[in-house]
Amino acid sequence: MEIPYTVTARADTGVNNAKLGVWLFLASEVMLFGALFTSYILLRTTAPEWPKGYEILNVPLATLNTAVLITSSITMVMAWASLMMKNFSKYKIYMGLTIILGLAFLVIKALEYGPKFSHGLYPSTNTFFAIYFTLTGLHGLHVIGGMIINSYFWGPGSKMWSTDPQRFTNRIEVAGLYWHFVDIVWIFLFPTIYLV
């Protein structure tokens, strides 16, 4: 049986089902990160003392990672735009770059975590590190998830371009929605954990 409304918009919603589905999923993701964020506020405001992020964490590495993730957002949107312009080979390049930038983000993250562990700083060390590792770790898992999806659409999933190009373009658009959301989460995590 065909999945309905993968290409055409539903009359009552005005969008295709994939788009509404992914936005609803992102709404649940807002609540997931929101719950952790509100825990952070509660723990920080009630703590007798709280270290400054920039005194303990590696701000230059995190700044570089912000630039990497923002760049991966533009390559992701360019991957979609390439499909809109019917240029599949450009799509492959931009989607490939998005995946590589995701990997670069994780490598830089590992370079950041490594010295923390070697200095004996773990989530169990104190509340600050518990929050730091939970929020950045969960965000890192989201990057890994996005890379799996993007790799599928770069590789085997891209066969759909020759059979159903519009549906494939829509898939890339909604995969992009998720990837940009992960970027937005980092845009909020970076200043609130590292810079204040």
Partner 1 sequence: METTAAHDIKKHVRLYISVFIALLALTVVTVAISYLHLDITAAIFVALTVAIIKGSLVASYFMHLISEKKIIFVTLILTVLFFVVLMALPLFSHSDQVTSSNVP
Residue 97 C-beta-side C-alpha neighbours within 13 Å: 18
CA distance 187 to 4: 35
- CA 105 from chain centre, in angstroms, equals 10
Chain centre to alpha carbon of residue 171? 16
Please report how close the Cβ of residue 194 comes to partner 1 at its closest, in angstroms.
8
Residue 170 CA to residue 141 CA, distance in Å, equals: 24
Nearer to partner 1, 121 or 187 (CB): 187
What distance in Å separates the CA atoms of residue 90 and residue 24, rounded to the nearest whole number?
Answer: 30
Nearer to partner 1, 46 or 118 (CB): 46
Q: Which of 34/137 has CB closer to partner 1?
A: 34
**Spatial distance between the Cα atoms of 137 and 148, rounded to a whole number of angstroms:** 17
* Smallest distance from partner 1 to CB 39, Å: 9
State the nearest-atom distance from the C-beta of 46 to partner 1, in Å: 8
Nearest approach, Cβ of residue 52 and partner 1 (Å): 8
Name the site residues for partner 1 (rule: CB under 8 A).
Answer: 9, 13-15, 19-20, 23-24, 27, 30-31, 34-35, 37-38, 41-42, 45, 54, 59, 63, 66-67, 70-71, 73-74, 76-78, 81, 84-86, 173, 176-177, 180-181, 183-184, 187-188, 190-192, 194-196
Task: Output 1 or 112, the one with its CB closest to partner 1.
Answer: 112
Query: Two tokens at 75?
Result: 């390559």
